[in-house]
Amino acid sequence: MSEFLRNLDELTREAVFEESATDTETVTETSYNGSGRGCCGNGNPDGDWKSLFYDPLAANNVTEDHRSRCRPCKILTSLLHAECEYDCAYCRVCKRKTPASVTPKEMADYFVKNWINGRYGGIFLSSGISGDVDGIMAEIIETSERIRNAGFNGYMHLKILPGANRSDIDAAAAIATRVSLNVETTSRAHMSEIANLKDYTQDIMKRLDWLGADAPGKHTTQFIVGAADESDREIISCMSHLYKKTMPARIYFSAFAGQKNTPMEFHPNTPEWRTNRLYQTDYLLRKYGFKADELCSVLDEKEFLQNADPKMLLAENLPRIDIKTANYEQLLRIPGIGPVSARNICRFRTEALKGRARKRKRIANPTGTSGNEKKGYPNAVAEDCDWSTVYSMIPAKSLPYIILRDSGIQSRIDEYI
């Protein structure tokens, strides 16, 4: 085996890239994948070396960012250099004694050849920082340009390195489908606990601000949950700030898992359920219009999420909602009802009210001479229409939180269907 192939075998990993449905209607644990491992080495401590470069952004979770237009395909997930001069306490790449590397030309030629042969349909490219950040970013950009110039126009995800200059960030964003820079933790103080050589304010947050200004909605970021012992309140507050200021397409969470022969080898691992719950809070914040303060109201006394659906915990403290009169935002607060169902319910009510108004006009003005068909329309409720269509949209888990009739709380939808 040539030196290039030996290096490539240690630098790369294949990931299945599959089509997915649109936004999940009901937020549950199965809506998210909490088993992600960071590309800098936060992987399964019992896995092989290649598992260190597996990143959820390039595998199962990428389906929400960029869906396959035709069929499931494989993503080549790779580093250019498996060595790093940073001192991240959780990362084995920093401790690697026999680093492997490939050149931009070698990587581009290998990918293009295998893309033409039908083996790969996309690429996720990152690198350890083995020297000057600008030089490594130049290599990442050169690799991507070579691949694009060869005719590949599919999914390409490029990692932005901490401390990258703005022109390189802009160049990467211009050529890639998606770019990302991991925020890792919530503050400068927490960053100093896990990585002394990274400047949280300058190397991370300033670069995320640039991404928000130059490539809003085209980038993602990721927390390594539990590595710096930050609370979930801190994470949720940081998430809210990032969405408002840097406008990422979405935020990912990787549960910390201690790596052998690292300073944090014996640090407690983060349970997978915690990242699942953070994915749920992220979804409520990003897609459902919840506020950070609302989500923090269901934290325990230590300011951590409970192992329960946060949307259901929030709903327990709210009055029951009348399906017939609730607006879109109120409908989204009901467990089991998401944006699609909420829009459908509002659309049905609007059409029912319009139909009722037309019927009143025909009765009151049989000759069509005059009449105000919109009188009373804004706050009206079409009580005499067939509500079975709406009730069929409501899952059983929503029943404890809704009112279906004026006389009280309805507990059996089948009486109305």
Range scoring the smallest mean pLDDT among 90-99, 129-138, 247-256, 284-293 = 90-99
pLDDT-derived band at 11, boundaries 50, 70, 90: low
pLDDT-derived band at 378, boundaries 50, 70, 90: very low
- Compute the distance between CA of residue 391 and CA of residue 50 in angstroms, rounded to an integer: 50
pLDDT-derived band at 388, boundaries 50, 70, 90: confident
pLDDT-derived band at 196, boundaries 50, 70, 90: confident
Residue 192 has pLDDT above 80, yes or no: yes
Instruction: Tell me the percentage of the chain whose pLDDT exceeds 70.
Output: 69
Residue 99 has pLDDT above 90, yes or no: no
Question: Where do you find CATH 3.20.20.70 in the chain?
Answer: 3-305
Q: Give 1 or 21, the one with higher predicted confidence.
A: 1
Q: Give 375 or 239, the one with higher predicted confidence.
A: 239
Per-residue pLDDT at 164? 96
Instruction: Tell me the percentage of the chain whose pLDDT exceeds 90.
Output: 51
- pLDDT tens digits for range 220-277: 999 999 999 999 999 999 999 999 999 999 999 999 998 888 889 899 999 999 999 9
Range scoring the smallest mean pLDDT among 39-43, 60-64, 346-350 = 60-64
Residue 384 has pLDDT above 60, yes or no: no
| Residue range 126-143: mean pLDDT, rounded | 92
Per-residue pLDDT at 390? 76
Residue 101 has pLDDT above 60, yes or no: yes
Domain 3-305 falls under CATH 3.20.20.70: yes
Per-residue pLDDT at 361? 56
Residue 291 has pLDDT above 60, yes or no: yes
pLDDT-derived band at 350, boundaries 50, 70, 90: confident
Range scoring the smallest mean pLDDT among 14-23, 160-169, 276-285, 340-349 = 14-23
